[in-house]
Amino acid sequence: MVTSVSAGRKGRRHVDLSEPTFGVLLNTPTLLLITALMFYPILASLWGSLHFQRLRLGSLPKFVGYKNYADILGREEFWEALRVSAVFGGATLVAVTVLGVGAALVLNEEFPGRGFVRALVLVPWAVPPVVNGLLWQWIFDGKVGILNQLFLDMGVIDSYRSWLANPNPAIVMAVLVFAQVWKTVPFAIIVLLAALQAIPVDLHDAARVDRAGSWARFRHVTLPWLTPALVVVLIVETLTAFQTFDLIYVLTGGGPGTTTTTLVWLTYLTAFDRLDLGHGNAYAYIIAMVQFTLAAAYIFSLRSNKSISQ
Amino acid sequence: MRLANRLRHAWFWRPLIAGSFGALLALYLALPVVWLVRTSLMAEIDAMSVPPRIIPEKVSWEAYALLFNASASRPLIGVQEIYEVLPSLGNSTLVAVSVAFLNLLFGAPAAYALARLTFAANRWFLFLYVLTRMVPLVALMIPLYLVVRSIGLLNTRTALIVVHTALTLPFTVWLLKEYFSTVPRDLEDAARVDRCNWLRMMLYVLLPVAAPGLIAASMFAFMFSWNEFLFALLFTNTIASKTVTVAVAGFISDLSLPRTVVAAAGVLALLPPVFVALLLQRQITQGLVAGAVKG
């Protein structure tokens, strides 16, 4: 190390800085940016959540202590939004897991055109979430959507219906989940496929020698290897679903009624529609708390599962 | 070998079954986008037909012509939003390219320090960068809006560029650090022996060798910025600043707009990130996996 320091000094002969100073200097722009635009705001949000403030210019914050939180926890809309978020996240998670594992297993097999399908996996991942909403809005459209015609031809329905303005909240939620899954399952497929490819071939060979059937091999060889990656996928997908904003903005606007009003959507409405920053910040902070907990679980699971990070 | 014999063997069936599921998967992934492209290439009357025509009778570039020649069509259509698409694509390009560039400008030096220099604070810096992943964007929404408003940067692309850069930098630094660690130290040492200063060593030795990593990292930032909607919606509300995601989202609630034109705008909005992802398939995949399981 001593030699590398002196070599470094010789290299930078014009600016003769010590290695630590130089290291800190090189990180300064990044540190300044994330401090100003991420760490400061997250604290400002906490501060703001303890104040009463309107969005209009010149409105000064007034300290109210934990009143905003007390208000929120006493409101029906908070618990309803929490429930909607949980249903949306839960349904997405189940669908992403089943579809993700299935697709990764298929793409781990040899078949003609596999490279092409693997490339296609990146398409939904890269599509802007706003455009994702646009895609499904039309497919589920009540007048000219293809789904109506498809279902009509198959005899599932007997007349065209509106899927996104449906009186049945479960149907609207299902549409939302469908769109979310299409956009986020590629991440699951990519990570799970990478984990599958890391399984040593000898493990399967050894299991075959032991006359393990294909289900037994999946259960005792593949699944244990897949589990750490699966945990990562589950947590990342939960965080993503929990934070979903664009899709709801485009597809349902939180409606009909409040059937798709998630916590994030409620936060946005409170701050930028009702112009109530204090309660908006309190909502935001509750989200941040849930997120911190989930993310901490994520990092903890990474630490305890070093096997997948080689 | 006779057919009957073949049918009895797994090696015959397995690719067939996997191939059929693979084909289904391909349809699932591609059809929604194909449907959007189809709609954008139809005449408006065909697009509104009930029952929907699966394959349009003839291809029409009408919708794209309207978008690219919006000012001429404006008196005819009389809809403000169509006029906004072309400038919004320009705004998105400027913002996303700037974000990608700033990520390299700030990210590469920081990553170099974390990968190569020994100093006590580097573990702390890395910890801080990983910590930013836990911050939900909605929690930043209100304070950042207030900051941007108070310094008078609402409805400017600058505000969006700076915020997007801050949001993407931690991942960029981390990714570049991983790339730099794979570059052999000998190269730098050789440069030092030649009495190259640090900046020259970076520009002429390390960065060219790590070019694939630089491209991947900057393209992650580009795609994030191009696709980002929440802050774009809050910060940019004028023709001069609005990005394409905001413009397209504005379309969706307006049912009076020609459907084919909305579809064409959607296609233009998804083209750059999808193109980049397919072009850099390997690097993007590796980056996603490494970002997910290492951290």
Q: pTM for the complete prediction?
A: 0.90
Cβ contact A298:A235 at 8 Å:
yes
Torsions phi, psi for A200 (to 5 deg):
-65, 135
pLDDT value for B75: 53
Query: In chain B, what percentage of residues exceed pLDDT 70?
Result: 92
Q: For A195-209, what is the mean pLDDT?
A: 82
Tokens of A164: 């996104």
CA–CA separation, B182 vs B155, rounded Å? 42
Cβ contact A267:B141 at 8 Å:
yes
Beta strands, E only, A191-275: none
Of the candidate ranges A61-65, A254-258, A300-304, the one whose mean pLDDT is the lowest: A300-304
Is pLDDT of A1 > 60? no
Is pLDDT of A10 > 50? no
pLDDT value for A11: 46
* Interchain contact, B249 vs A229, CB within 8 Å: no
B151 touches chain A (CB under 8 A): no
Comparing CB atoms, the residue among A23, A114, A309 nearest residue B117 is: A23
Of the candidate ranges A204-208, A251-255, B117-121, B133-137, the one whose mean pLDDT is the lowest: A204-208
∠ CA A293-A297-A300 to the nearest 5 degrees? Answer: 135
Give the CB-side neighbour count of residue A225, counting CA atoms within 13 A. Answer: 20
Closest CA to B136 of A266, A268, A289, A79: A289
pLDDT value for B6: 65
Q: For A202-221, what is the mean pLDDT?
A: 79
pLDDT value for A13: 45
Query: Could you tell me the pLDDT band of residue B3, with boundaries at 50, 70 and 90?
Result: low
Which of B55, B117, B138, B205 has the most A C-beta neighbours within 10 Å, making it the best mutation to test the interface with A? B138
Largest separation between any pair of C-alpha atoms in chain A = 81
Query: In chain A, what percentage of residues exceed pLDDT 70?
Result: 91
CA–CA separation, A301 vs B143, rounded Å? 31
Using one digit for the tens of pLDDT, what is the confidence trace for A104-149? Answer: 999 998 888 999 999 999 999 999 999 999 998 888 876 777 777 7
* Interchain contact, B29 vs A228, CB within 8 Å: no
Cβ contact A88:A173 at 8 Å:
yes
Cβ contact A126:B223 at 8 Å:
yes
- The chain-wide mean pLDDT, for chain B, equals 87
CA–CA separation, A190 vs A62, rounded Å? 48
CA–CA separation, A44 vs B291, rounded Å? 28
CA–CA separation, B141 vs B229, rounded Å? 12
Cβ contact A175:B71 at 8 Å:
no
Q: What is the dihedral of CA A158, A162, A165, A170, to 10 degrees?
A: 50
Is pLDDT of B13 > 60? yes
* Interchain contact, B129 vs A245, CB within 8 Å: no
Residue B88's alpha-carbon distances to A44, A158, B119, B206, in angstroms, are 31, 42, 44, 36
Site of tokens 């990146």: A122
Is pLDDT of A2 > 50? no
∠ CA B221-B224-A296 to the nearest 5 degrees? Answer: 95
* Interchain contact, B142 vs A128, CB within 8 Å: no
A264 contacts in B (CB within 8 Å)?
Answer: 138
Using one digit for the tens of pLDDT, what is the confidence trace for A244-298? Answer: 999 999 998 887 888 899 999 999 999 999 898 999 999 999 999 888 888 777 7
* Interchain contact, B269 vs A128, CB within 8 Å: yes
Cβ contact A265:A245 at 8 Å:
yes
Which one-letter amino acid corresponds to residue A150?
L
B142 contacts in A (CB within 8 Å)?
Answer: 45, 48, 271, 277, 280-281, 284
pLDDT value for A139: 83
Using one digit for the tens of pLDDT, what is the confidence trace for B125-170? Answer: 988 998 888 888 888 999 999 999 989 999 999 999 999 999 999 9
Q: For A139-164, what is the mean pLDDT?
A: 75
Using one digit for the tens of pLDDT, what is the confidence trace for A171-194? Answer: 889 999 999 999 999 999 999 999
A39 contacts in B (CB within 8 Å)?
Answer: 132
Specify the higher pLDDT residue, B12 or A16.
B12
pLDDT value for B74: 53
pLDDT value for A5: 41
Using one digit for the tens of pLDDT, what is the confidence trace for B169-194? Answer: 999 999 999 999 988 888 888 877 77
Q: Tell me how far apart the terminal alpha carbons of chain B are, to the nearest angstrom.
A: 52
* Interchain contact, B147 vs A120, CB within 8 Å: no
Is pLDDT of A83 > 80? yes
Burial class of B7 by CB neighbour count within 10 A (0 to 12, 13 to 18, 19+): exposed
Q: How does DSSP classify residue A199?
A: S
* Interchain contact, B142 vs A302, CB within 8 Å: no
Cβ contact B219:B171 at 8 Å:
no
A302 contacts in B (CB within 8 Å)?
Answer: 293-295
- Chain centre to alpha carbon of residue A60: 35
Residue B152: left (phi > 0), alpha (psi -120 to 50), or beta? Answer: left
Of the candidate ranges A123-137, A270-284, B104-118, B242-256, the one whose mean pLDDT is the lowest: B242-256
* Interchain contact, A45 vs B170, CB within 8 Å: no
pLDDT value for B83: 82
Q: Which of A8-17, A149-158, A231-240 has the highest mean pLDDT?
A: A231-240
Stated as kind and residue range, the H or E segment containing A22 is: helix A19-34
pLDDT value for B71: 61
* Interchain contact, B19 vs A112, CB within 8 Å: yes
Burial class of B292 by CB neighbour count within 10 A (0 to 12, 13 to 18, 19+): buried
Q: For B261-277, what is the mean pLDDT?
A: 94
Which one-letter amino acid corresponds to residue A82?
L
Angle, helices A263-272/A223-243, rounded to nearest 10 degrees? 20
* Interchain contact, B22 vs A123, CB within 8 Å: no
Is pLDDT of B16 > 90? no
Query: In chain B, what percentage of residues exceed pLDDT 90?
Result: 50
CA–CA separation, B242 vs B220, rounded Å? 21
Cβ contact B37:B271 at 8 Å:
no
Site of tokens 């750059």: B272
Is pLDDT of B292 > 90? no
pLDDT value for A7: 43
Nearest CA in chain A to B11: A110
Query: Could you tell me the pLDDT band of residue B61, with boundaries at 50, 70 and 90?
Result: confident
Cβ contact B197:B108 at 8 Å:
no
Query: Could you tell me the pLDDT band of residue B1, with boundaries at 50, 70 and 90?
Result: low
Q: Which residues numbered 166-225 in B keep a CB inside 8 Å of some CB on A?
A: 166-167, 169-170, 173, 189, 191-192, 195-198, 201, 223
In this structure, are strands A51-52 and A62-63 parallel, antiparallel, or unpaired? Answer: antiparallel
